[in-house]
């Protein structure tokens, strides 16, 4: 499978990046197609294509077209020019996916994670990426690790990850030291959002919101093709907007957070309290709720709170489309009506007209999102240089 390009990607040439991104997003294209989409002149497109062809990132097809005028040659991405690894870290496993330059998943795998200790997690991430590198049969251009919580993508620092119980972990540096591969770290929801906006259900939306429900409540926002990351790595924290009962505490230290009412652990806890039945899973809570009674009311409250949260983000950014995903979709039928009612009641004016899409995802899809971030960082020249040896701690 392995193959390498003839030269480096022309990152210092913004026009070349624009041309390449256009062909990557839209598929085989003529120079005229690219010029119309990007607004570049025909001469600029031709000049920008040359280094991409020379370096082996683009291929030019055979002459095609009508009988009149100059033959048209289509440009297409050379998929095997670069390989990327994406890793999604969950509470109990590490999920990895290998993609080519076109973003096609070529291999994936899972490794169990028995401890959230930093050294253990870095070791499992490294093992997963090495397996993917072996499948590629060549060097990887970049890797990305997607984790939940507050992440500084520019530095690779995980400021806070509640489910791993991490604070201020230099994860990119540690993984690079272990692998010798340029590595970026991204919030997992933002990584999934990038994948949805470039190759998934969000393609074509100028303003896209991706909301994930389940163990937590996450939110990614795309405006004009760019995933917002915030000045300090915090943006779209829909789960921590106080739209629930102000008396309900949240692990973040706030009160009334959406996550404290509508995330799976909160629902399980509240159903247990309302029914007096000790429960440990959302499936158990859902089974009780399907019979009505207090358990059903808990789900209704969660749905109404989530609906208000979706209306809030719709009012703030005016999306074309809201994609709802996450493991919480397994029980979405129990509060779907309440979500929609609250959304319609609270969305202002034409914000209510945005399309809402339910899109189930596997953890491999989340890892695919991480690989998309790795590719994006590589193309933009924002993948960090490998840092060499560094001592693992903790």
CATH number (domain holding residue 210): 3.30.420.40
* Nearest Cα to Cα of residue 111 among 98, 122, 133, 96: 96
Residue 27 is part of which domain span? 14-80
- Is residue 209 located within the same domain as residue 281? yes
DSSP state of 343: H
- Is residue 276 located within the same domain as residue 137? no
Both tokens assigned to 298 = 């808990």
- Is residue 264 located within the same domain as residue 175? no
Q: Would residue 344 be called left, alpha or beta, if left means φ above 0 and alpha means ψ between -120 and 50 degrees?
A: alpha
| Rounded Cα gap, residues 158 and 116, in angstroms | 13
Question: Quick one: pLDDT at residue 301?
Answer: 96
User: Is 46 in contact with 34 (CB distance < 8 Å)?
Assistant: no
- Is residue 143 located within the same domain as residue 281? no
Question: Quick one: pLDDT at residue 203?
Answer: 85
- Tell me which of 29, 62, 80 is where a domain ends: 80
- Is residue 171 located within the same domain as residue 229? no
- Is residue 138 located within the same domain as residue 275? no
Q: Is residue 242 part of a domain?
A: yes
- Is residue 252 located within the same domain as residue 295? yes
- Is residue 117 located within the same domain as residue 177? yes
Question: Quick one: pLDDT at residue 225?
Answer: 83
Give residues with Cβ within 8 angstroms of 312, minimum separation 6: 238, 241, 243, 346
pLDDT along the chain (394 residues), means of 10: 66 89 89 94 95 94 59 89 95 95 93 95 97 88 94 90 93 95 94 89 91 94 89 86 92 93 96 96 96 95 97 96 94 95 96 93 94 91 47 36
Q: Is residue 304 part of a domain?
A: yes
- Is residue 127 located within the same domain as residue 69? no
Q: Is residue 300 part of a domain?
A: yes
Q: In what order do the strands lie in the sheet with 321-325?
A: 226-227, 217-223, 207-213, 321-325, 355-358
Question: Quick one: pLDDT at residue 174?
Answer: 97
| Rounded Cα gap, residues 13 and 32, in angstroms | 20
- Is residue 340 located within the same domain as residue 370? no
- Is residue 113 located within the same domain as residue 169? yes
Give residues with Cβ within 8 angstroms of 238, minimum separation 6: 211, 217, 218, 219, 258, 309, 312, 313
Residues composing the chain: 394
pTM (predicted TM-score): 0.86
């Amino acid at each position: 499978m392995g193959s390498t390009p003839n030269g480096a990607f022309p990152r210092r040439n913004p026009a070349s990046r624009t041309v390449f991104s256009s062909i990557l997003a839209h598929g085989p294209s003529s120079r005229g197609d690219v010029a119309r989409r990007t607004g570049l002149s025909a001469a600029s497109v031709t000049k920008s294509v040359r280094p991409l062809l020379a370096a082996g990132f683009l291929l030019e097809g055979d002459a095609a077209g009508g009988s009149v005028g100059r033959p048209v040659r289509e440009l297409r991405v050379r998929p095997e020019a670069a390989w990327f690894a994406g890793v999604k870290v969950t509470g109990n496993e590490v999920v990895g996916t290998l993609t080519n330059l076109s973003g096609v998943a070529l291999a994936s795998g899972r490794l169990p994670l028995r401890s959230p200790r930093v050294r253990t997690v870095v070791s499992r991430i490294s093992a997963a990426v090495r397996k993917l590198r072996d499948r590629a049969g060549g060097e990887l251009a970049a890797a990305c690790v997607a984790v939940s919580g507050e992440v500084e993508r520019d530095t690779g620092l995980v400021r806070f990850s509640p489910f791993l119980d991490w604070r201020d972990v230099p994860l990119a540096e540690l993984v690079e030291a272990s692998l010798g591969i340029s590595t970026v770290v991204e919030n997992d929801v933002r990584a999934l959002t990038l994948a949805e906006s470039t190759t998934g259900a969000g393609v074509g939306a100028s303003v896209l919101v991706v909301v994930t429900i389940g163990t937590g409540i996450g939110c990614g926002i795309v405006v004009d093709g760019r995933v917002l990351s915030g000045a300090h790595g915090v943006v779209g924290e829909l789960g921590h907007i106080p739209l629930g009962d102000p008396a309900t505490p949240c692990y973040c230290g706030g009160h009334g957070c959406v996550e404290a009412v509508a995330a799976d652990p909160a629902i399980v806890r509240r159903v247990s309290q309302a029914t007096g039945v000790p429960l440990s899973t959302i499936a158990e809570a859902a089974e009780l709720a399907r019979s009505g009674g207090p358990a059903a009311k808990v789900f209704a409250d969660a749905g109404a709170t989530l609906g208000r949260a979706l209306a809030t983000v719709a009012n703030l950014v005016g999306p074309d489309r809201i994609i709802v995903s996450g493991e919480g979709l397994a029980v979405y039928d129990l509060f779907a009506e309440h979500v929609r009612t609250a959304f319609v009641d609270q969305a202002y004016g034409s914000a209510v007209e945005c399309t809402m899409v339910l899109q189930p995802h596997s953890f491999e899809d989340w890892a695919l999102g991480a690989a998309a971030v790795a590719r994006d960082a590589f193309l933009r020249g924002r993948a960090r240089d490998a840092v060499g040896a560094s001592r693992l701690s903790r």
